[in-house]
């Protein structure tokens, strides 16, 4: 008979993570100015980029850090998170340059990375980064498990955005209180629970050893398979799916249920989340009925014909791509006619992107795909997500010409991010001397004066946040490298996510160096002037709020002047 300690040991082995060997340490920025020793697959510079990107997520960890933590300047933090609701919600990731933890964008990050790893998994193996991929995914997934304590509850945020934005400093003095915000059966957040279900399903498929074999070149990372962990993830996927579609409170966006979360990551709807979640549920469970539900929601929420951006809030382009991948990987579900239809829909969106964008998107003068509105707050993210979708889809395009066009465009957006832009700026921190070194990160900066973010410290950040992808340049391709400019200089979990898939693909397929190796120190220099965005006053010297205030003042003075004229005329007539 097995004893309890032995059973616990067996359970622990079943859920054991891979062990990194050898340990990867990001090389100094100067190493990014030289060609790789061998121009073969895998190219060491692409492998370094993939390693740096995963290192960024380790630097963003919350909770009790393990003994093998590689980020020496980080400390265990947020250990009391969840205590206000009697739960342990420590762990997980700080979402950007501050200290809130947000499950909605995190769920998209995990979905995106697991989805990419089921197609381009060999890239992680070739770069010797599979163990770090495993760690990165589990740190996020394990926190989402804690955020789903029962099938009627899901926690969507820890930390108050207003309190958090008024603090600038290290991880040992994070201000309190840190409230825990939840959606539940009677007060639902359909978008948040459906997207979390998609995260659990997509990652359950990965940990079950799944390969999205829509093309013969698809691969999964070797050694990551763990059926016990996959089953745990799938249980939470099913529970959250049931909460999404059968909540007694109906369906609603999560900021209506919890208004406090609306400042950071408000959602525009839940139809795309439901459709994507149903597709990944179908993939993870081999369920044709889940696939039929995806078709139902796709029709109900009128998702066809869209030219939408792809990001944490807008997943319609991912729906097109995944429907087509599943039509090839699971032909019995779709049939030949539907494969043709899904290809047509996906390629309509892809062709629009490659031609410079539709639905309001355009190309900047320097060659960045730009969506006004979405790109104004983080210019690189929509472009990199589009490049990720194109890279997923290119191997299954209807013609070889389309395959080439999609990969060429994806490469152009990747190269722009890695230095092929008018500023010669490399928008990944630490990979090259021309990378940002004044990042809007309270942890990495080393400063503690919120009223002097740019001058405390007066120079580069005290700590290098290797692998962080910043918001990026403005619509004129200008980037100022100013720490207080959170629009351009803040990193975020979702900014780096598409670049993981693109880098894994490059490790598998590209023997030549990334663009940044051609840039020597000093290639980037800040432009004259200063930014004009939501975090900085525009060139007139007034912020948007200042302009509004000035307009109000002018209006009041004008009205008063007119009243004086009317009074004067009236007085003259009385005489």
Look up residue 221 and give its DSSP letter.
Answer: -
pLDDT number for residue 357? 79
Phi, psi of 520 (to 5 degrees): -90, 165
Mean of pLDDT over the chain: 92
For residue 215, give its domain range. 10-518
pLDDT number for residue 565? 60
Tell whether 529 is covered by a domain.
Answer: no
Tell whether 159 is covered by a domain.
Answer: yes
Q: Exactly one of 52, 95, 474, 477 is catalytic; name it.
A: 95
87-106 tens-digit pLDDT: 999 999 999 999 999 999 99
Largest CA distance in the chain: 114
Distance (Å, whole) CA 390 – CA 409: 8
Query: Would you place residue 561 in the very low, low, confident or very high pLDDT band (cuts 50, 70, 90)?
Result: low
CATH code for the domain of 102 = 1.50.10.10
Q: Exactly one of 98, 146, 191, 313 is catalytic; name it.
A: 98
DSSP string for 26-63: PPPGGGGGS--SS-SSSPHHHHHHHHHHHHHHHHTB-B
Distance (Å, whole) CA 397 – CA 404: 9
Which has more confidence, 302 or 562? Answer: 302
Q: Is 95 a catalytic site residue?
A: yes
466 close to 86: Cβ distance less than 8 angstroms: no
Q: Exactly one of 57, 93, 124, 265 is catalytic; name it.
A: 265
Domain count, the chain: 1
Tell whether 554 is covered by a domain.
Answer: no
Tell whether 4 is covered by a domain.
Answer: no
Report if pTM > 0.85: yes
273-299 tens-digit pLDDT: 999 999 999 999 999 999 999 999 999
241-279 tens-digit pLDDT: 999 999 999 999 999 999 999 999 999 999 999 999 999
Q: Exactly one of 81, 490, 513, 533 is catalytic; name it.
A: 490
21 close to 131: Cβ distance less than 8 angstroms: yes
Distance (Å, whole) CA 390 – CA 368: 15
Query: Would you place residue 232 in the very low, low, confident or very high pLDDT band (cuts 50, 70, 90)?
Result: very high
Q: Is 265 a catalytic site residue?
A: yes
The three-class DSSP label of residue 370 is strand
Give the mean pLDDT of 38-51: 98
312-354 tens-digit pLDDT: 999 999 999 999 999 999 999 987 668 999 999 999 999 999 9
Give the mean pLDDT of 177-200: 98
Q: Is 291 a catalytic site residue?
A: no
pLDDT number for residue 568? 53
Tell whether 525 is covered by a domain.
Answer: no
Alpha carbon 125 to its chain's center: 22
pLDDT over 60 (residue 167) = yes
Tell whether 500 is covered by a domain.
Answer: yes
Query: Which helix (DSSP H) or strand (DSSP E) does residue 549 occupy?
Result: helix 544-574
Tell whether 406 is covered by a domain.
Answer: yes
The three-class DSSP label of residue 491 is strand
pLDDT number for residue 537? 84
pLDDT number for residue 78? 98
Tell whether 2 is covered by a domain.
Answer: no
């Amino acid at each position: 008979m097995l004893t309890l300690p032995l059973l616990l040991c067996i359970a622990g082995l079943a859920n054991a993570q891979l062990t990194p060997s050898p340990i990867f340490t990001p090389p100094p920025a100067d190493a990014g100015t030289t060609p790789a020793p061998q121009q073969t697959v895998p190219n060491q510079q692409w492998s370094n980029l993939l390693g740096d990107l995963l290192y960024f997520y380790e630097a963003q960890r919350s909770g009790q850090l393990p003994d093998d933590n590689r980020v020496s300047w980080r400390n265990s933090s947020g250990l009391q998170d969840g205590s206000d609701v009697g739960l342990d919600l420590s762990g997980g990731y700080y979402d950007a340059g501050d200290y809130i933890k947000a499950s909605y964008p995190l769920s998209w990050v995990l979905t995106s990375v697991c989805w990419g790893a089921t197609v381009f998994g060999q890239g992680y193996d070739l770069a010797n980064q599979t163990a770090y991929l495993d760690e990165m995914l589990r740190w996020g997934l394990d926190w989402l498990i804690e955020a789903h304590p029962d099938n009627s509850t899901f926690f969507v945020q820890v930390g108050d955005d207003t309190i958090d934005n008024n603090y600038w400093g290290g991880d040992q003095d994070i201000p309190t209180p840190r409230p825990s915000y939840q959606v539940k059966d009677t007060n639902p957040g359909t978008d948040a629970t459906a997207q979390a279900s998609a995260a659990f399903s997509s990652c359950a498929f990965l940990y079950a050893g799944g390969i999205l074999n829509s093309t013969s070149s698809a691969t999964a990372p070797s050694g990551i398979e763990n059926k016990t962990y996959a089953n745990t993830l799938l249980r939470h996927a099913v529970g959250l799916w049931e909460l999404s579609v059968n909540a007694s409170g109906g369906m609603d966006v999560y900021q209506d249920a919890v208004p406090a979360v609306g400042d950071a990551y408000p959602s525009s709807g839940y139809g795309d989340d439901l459709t994507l979640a149903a597709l990944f549920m179908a993939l993870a469970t081999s369920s044709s009925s889940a696939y039929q539900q995806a078709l139902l929601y796709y029709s109900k929420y009128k998702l066809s014909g869209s030219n939408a951006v792809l990001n944490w809030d807008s997943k319609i382009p991912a729906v097109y791509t995944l429907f087509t991948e599943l039509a090839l990987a699971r032909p019995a579900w779709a049939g030949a006619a539907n494969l043709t239809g899904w290809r047509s829909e996906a390629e309509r969106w892809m062709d629009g992107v490659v031609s410079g964008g539709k639905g309001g998107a355009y190309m900047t003068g320097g060659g960045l795909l730009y969506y006004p509105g979405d790109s104004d707050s983080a210019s690189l993210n929509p472009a990199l997500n589009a490049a990720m979708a194109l890279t997923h889809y290119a191997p299954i395009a209807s013609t070889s010409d389309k395959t080439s066009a999609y990969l060429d465009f994806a490469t152009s957006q990747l190269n722009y991010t890695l230095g092929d832009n008018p500023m010669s700026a490399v928008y990944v921190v630490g990979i090259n001397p021309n990378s940002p070194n004044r990042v809007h990160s309270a942890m990495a900066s080393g400063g503690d004066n919120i009223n002097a973010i740019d001058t405390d410290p007066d120079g580069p950040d005290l700590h290098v946040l290797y692998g962080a992808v910043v918001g990026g340049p403005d619509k004129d391709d200008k980037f100022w490298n100013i720490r207080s400019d959170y629009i351009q200089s803040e990193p975020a979990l979702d900014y780096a996510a598409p670049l993981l898939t693109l880098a894994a693909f490059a490790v598998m397929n590209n023997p030549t160096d990334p663009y940044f190796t051609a840039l020597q120190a000093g290639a980037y220099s800040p432009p004259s002037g200063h930014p004009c965005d939501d975090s900085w006053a525009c060139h007139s010297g007034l912020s948007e709020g200042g302009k509004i205030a000035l307009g109000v003042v002018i209006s009041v003075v004008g009205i008063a002047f007119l009243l004086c004229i009317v009074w004067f005329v009236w007085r003259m007539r009385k005489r």
